[in-house]
Amino acid sequence: MIHYTCDRCHKKIDENIDLRYEVSIVTQVALDEPDASLQEDRDHLNEVDDLLERVDDEECERLCQELYQSRRYDLCANCFQQFTRNPLGADAQPQVEFSEN
Ligand SMILES: [Zn+2]
């Protein structure tokens, strides 16, 4: 049987008693291409091809890891509520409760 631990407060989540919340966060770079719609599709594809040919696999992998990150967290009910209230963890949280194990 798999035991889950809350990634935020590290409390064990007993799925018989507690709800376990999965939170997936995908981060990617937003590229603005204001002129893209003005270009011919064919030209644009050729440019992408040229770019891909110039970038070797290792470099490409590094770039992709920088540009796109996907993470998954397990949260207990309490932490999930806190997360939904303040997903970015911005500002000091006035009431942080640490439950004693
Ligand atoms: Zn928790």
> Which of 81, 86, 88, 75 lies closest to 9 in space, CA to CA?
75
pLDDT score for 10: 97
Of 83, 72, 68, 70, nearest to 23 by C-alpha is 72
4, β-bridge pairs: 13
Span from the CA of 69 to the centroid of ligand 1 (angstroms): 23
Instruction: Yes or no: say if 12 and 101 are a contact pair by the CB < 8 Å rule.
Output: no
For residue 53, report the distance from its CA to the centre of ligand 1, in Å: 46
| Cα-to-centroid distance, 77 and ligand 1 (Å) | 7
Per-residue pLDDT of the chain (101 residues; tens, 9 = 90+): 678 999 999 999 998 899 999 999 998 888 776 665 555 566 767 777 776 676 677 777 787 777 888 999 999 999 999 999 998 888 765 665 666 66
Q: pTM here? A: 0.56
Centre of ligand 1 to C-alpha 90, Å, is 18
